[in-house]
Amino acid sequence: MESRSPICNTCGEEIGVKSNGEFFVACHECSFPICKACLEYEFKEGRRICLRCGNPYDENVFDDVETKTSKTQSIVPTHINNTPQVDSGIHARHISTVSTIDSDLNDEYGNPIWKNRVESWKDKKSKKKKKDAKATKAEEHDGRIPSQQHMEDMPSNTEAGATDVLSVVIPIPRTKITSYRIVIIMRLIILALFFNYRITHPVDSAYGLWLTSVICEIWFAVSWVLDQFPKWSPINRETYIDRLSARFEREGEQSQLAAVDFFVSTVDPLKEPPLITANTVLSILALDYPVDKVSCYVSDDGAAMLSFESLVETADFARKWVPFCKKYSIEPRAPEFYFSLKIDYLRDKVQPSFVKERRAMKRDYEEFKIRMNALVAKAQKTPEEGWTMQDGTSWPGNNTRDHPGMIQVFLGYSGARDIEGNELPRLVYVSREKRPGYQHHKKAGAENALVRVSAVLTNAPFILNLDCDHYVNNSKAVREAMCFLMDPVVGQDVCFVQFPQRFDGIDKSDRYANRNIVFFDVNMRGLDGIQGPVYVGTGTVFRRQALYGYSPPSKPRILPQSSSSSCCCLTKKKQPQDPSEIYKDAKREELDAAIFNLGDLDNYDEYERSMLISQTSFEKTFGLSAVFIESTLMENGGVPDSVNPSTLIKEAIHVISCGYEEKTEWGKEVGWIYGSITEDILTGFKMHCRGWRSIYCMPLRPAFKGSAPINLSDRLHQVLRWALGSVEIFLSRHCPLWYGCSGGRLKLLQRLAYINTIVYPFTSLPLVAYCTLPAICLLTGKFIIPTLSNLASMLFLGLFISIILTSVLELRWSGVSIEDLWRNEQFWVIGGVSAHLFAVFQGFLKMLAGLDTNFTVTSKTADDLEFGELYIVKWTTLLIPPTSLLIINLVGVVAGFSDALNKGYEAWGPLFGKVFFAFWVILHLYPFLKGLMGRQNRTPTIVILWSILLASVFSLVWVRINPFVSKTDTTSLSQNCLLIDC
């Protein structure tokens, strides 16, 4: 068999031979096939690590092609020095108020500046015309060589690369997962037999009740399938941070870790206390990560002077706090939560000066809190003439609905240093422009503004967004995420890494399931085994290129269906016959944006490429900012060298102007997606539809922690917001039932999971009906189940056993406690009969009548009394439906026992079935009843009066109408009465 040069894995050409006649080998560890031309391109782009094993290329190879390489540019600019900084003791008050500017779209030669990037793509594949012939020859040759020979041609050194693996997948033990799946299949079979019995055995005496119950049970079964099967293949993951440091942080060399831009969002500082936001910012600035790789952007969407002033104080205190955290490696690095830890803080601390410095730092923090509280107290009453800054000028954000864009850089690499003289991460205050008549899209619009600002100023390849009340609990959290995102094999298709949400300030019993353990520890781990977890709004590390709408590089491209389906302004003159000639981005028909895969540009001819990189196509997608457009083409991040440093702040102001997104794809295909108040679910769904996958990272020490609304009213309003967002998605064009089906990038089980996230609020309708049935049965003396036979008894028993076994085995592989599972089940009923029910009606009112509902930001404040808010009951209409159900079922139980006492012994048997049914409802609503009563029975009187009134009216009307019970023949009854001898 004749010998032949291996084929390059990148371009499909033969790798060629060296001067000594041997085949060219780039990596001597795994012999990854790549030709010299492609290797030169990899060096030019700054990638000097083998794509297969992750080992650096051989030094001899570097010497051979070093003359054609260029140094990689700095990821974060150090020349933004025209902005006032915060020095020790001096608080800068300068505000940039330029809202719109004219962008210079051309370079000094009159050409679009991003066209300079095209030149590097032209050199990558100059032999395009020979590709078809080489590919055909390769296919013929492959047909002659057995598959075993292919394996021998590319030997792999797994042992050499084993130590370079940054993360591993740890599957659930087979004994646990196999039995779990068997029980799921058994439960499906039992459900089928159960519904066969229920449908074929109607209750003639109460046909309406029976039909209602069967419809509800069928819906519950469908909901169970949608929730259960995405958990078919749960997995665990393990990361190796030490290997990440060994690969990218070599001693004596500059760190090669990727830069990260942090986004912190806040709206109303009176409802989201500035002290909590300050702790979140301080925990970010003190991260265990290179300071030149971290930038923190704080979005003040309310343009409040209080937020700005508190950030000034935070930047000043950070100069003391950051070196203290890094010197002693304390955890967590949010001062409020560190000083409140009830542990022995001297454990594992051997420095004699630690106690002295800790006491001094605690005093400094107490003084910092006093200054912050003074700012809050001052902001309680707004002056009639508006707020005035210390320099005497009026605060630009006095009118929160009509103000210019504002940006202030507080800390940075060329600015103020800490008390020890070390550099600090960049801290930037951003308040986007707002004008009447413009749609600002709330939090999603604020996040998109931060995406553009950060791209202009720092342009880190990765973005981590946090709510203002979620601080960094694990200083190595970013390193955990980088073990996935910077992996040369695993990371290329990962759009984001999601961390579970953990919360402080919740009592051990977790009465209202605020921790949401079942979702984060069971459902999300199940999704990680399919295409990845859903985006939950905070604690997420994004790949910036994925937010721009690009598809993953390794996914197979889908050819356009017609010659006219192309990127924005590109029109194909001739459709090629060979599918391998042109690879396109995976776009569905509804995607009309100029979004493409950067790697595909080399497969177009010169005319097509120039049209694709035209000014028109990019501006239609990303807006009128040449600096931002060029930054989108930089896959590894960094500010373009062609940008004038003196104009960066003005350009940043320009990209946050209120009219910047008009006639662009922002919010449609780029950035956070608009159309729902739960923009997180929608944004992650669009990414998964493009073929990206996500990763679920669960480090032993929780990465982030936040504060949760723990009282009943706030919890129900939070659930109402989530459910309303799901209903909006269901009624939009992005409904997972049909959106993205033509692309084929979303896996079936992943689609089931997304369908479950948008249809679960509709379960409230059958749930309310099913919780009302026990009271109806007790009041009317009828039941929804006929007299049970032996077969029926076995089916009911098997169904209950399968439900219990499924839960037990789920607890076994997930590690969730029984109490957490039960609390989740209880609040599923509480939220279903209240918040979910209101969300369904509000969603349809918004769609049909255009009535929009305003969402009030959940209060994050807490009383001095521990868990004091747990016992506060605030008036809300959400409390009426579950209270009414409780009263109706309690009245039904009393009526049922009274009726049994009157009828005698024979009535007690059927009574137990009805009472068990009623107690099932009461037991699930028990946390609601306990929360309604509060610690001192401070339930609002209006709630009790309305509930009793509704329950009484409903019971009396029901007894009078009695629609579900068969009517008695009054004619025969009167004839029987005439025969009675009085």
Please give the positions annotated as active site.
301, 680
CB atoms within 10 A of CB 419: 12
Q: Check if the beta carbon of residue 117 is closer than 8 Å to that of residue 633.
A: yes
Q: Check if the beta carbon of residue 627 is closer than 8 Å to that of residue 456.
A: yes
Helix crossing, 274-285 with 305-328: angle to 10°?
40
Measuring CA to CA, which residue among 61, 50, 45 is closest to residue 123?
45
Helices (H), 657-708: 679-689
Residue 442 among known ligand-binding residues: yes
- Rounded distance between C-alpha atoms, residue 323 and residue 418, angstroms: 7
> Which element (helix H / strand E) includes 626?
helix 626-632
Q: Is the dihedral of CA 720, 722, 723, 726 positive or negative?
A: positive
Taking the CA atoms of residue 134, residue 135, residue 139 and residue 140 in that order, the dihedral angle to the nearest 10 degrees is: -30
What letter would DSSP give residue 206? G
Measuring CA to CA, which residue among 271, 301, 549 is closest to residue 440?
301
Residue 22 among known ligand-binding residues: no
Residue 36 among known ligand-binding residues: no
Q: Check if the beta carbon of residue 167 is closer than 8 Å to that of residue 483.
A: yes
Beta-ladder partners of 49: 56
Residue 764 among known ligand-binding residues: no
Q: Check if the beta carbon of residue 501 is closer than 8 Å to that of residue 516.
A: yes
Contacts with 289 (C-beta within 8 Å, 6 or more apart), sequence order: 257, 260, 475, 478, 479
- Rounded distance between C-alpha atoms, residue 291 and residue 411, angstroms: 11
Which amino acid makes up residue 500? P
Residue where the block lists tokens 């169970």: 224
Residue where the block lists tokens 């004038």: 644
What letter would DSSP give residue 550? P
Q: Does residue 84 have a cis bond before it (omega within 30 degrees)?
A: no
CB atoms within 10 A of CB 76: 24
Q: Check if the beta carbon of residue 479 is closer than 8 Å to that of residue 289.
A: yes
Residue 728 among known ligand-binding residues: no
Residue 123 among known ligand-binding residues: no
Measuring CA to CA, which residue among 305, 228, 297, 219 is closest to residue 264?
297
Q: Is 261 exposed, middle or buried (0-12, 13-18, 19+ CB in 10 A)?
A: buried
The Cα angle at residue 340 between residues 335 and 345, in degrees rounded to 5: 90
What is the full DSSP assignment across 948-981? HHHHHHHHHHHHHH-TTSPPP-HHHHHHHHHTS-
How are beta strands 235-239 and 260-266 bridged, if at all? unpaired
- Rounded distance between C-alpha atoms, residue 706 and residue 538, angstroms: 10
Contacts with 354 (C-beta within 8 Å, 6 or more apart), sequence order: 328, 346
What number of H helices and E strands is found in the chain?
A: 34, 13
- Rounded distance between C-alpha atoms, residue 302 and residue 395, angstroms: 13
What is the full DSSP assignment across 137-150? HHHHHHHHS-HHHH
Residue 97 tokens read as: 């108020």
Residue where the block lists tokens 């023949």: 969
Taking the CA atoms of residue 710, residue 716, residue 719 and residue 725 in that order, the dihedral angle to the nearest 10 degrees is: -140
- Rounded distance between C-alpha atoms, residue 124 and residue 303, angstroms: 48
Q: Check if the beta carbon of residue 159 is closer than 8 Å to that of residue 48.
A: no
Residue 705 among known ligand-binding residues: no
Q: Is 293 exposed, middle or buried (0-12, 13-18, 19+ CB in 10 A)?
A: buried
| Residue stretches of the annotated binding site for Mn(2+) | 443, 467
Binding residue numbers for UDP-alpha-D-glucose? 265, 271-272, 301, 442
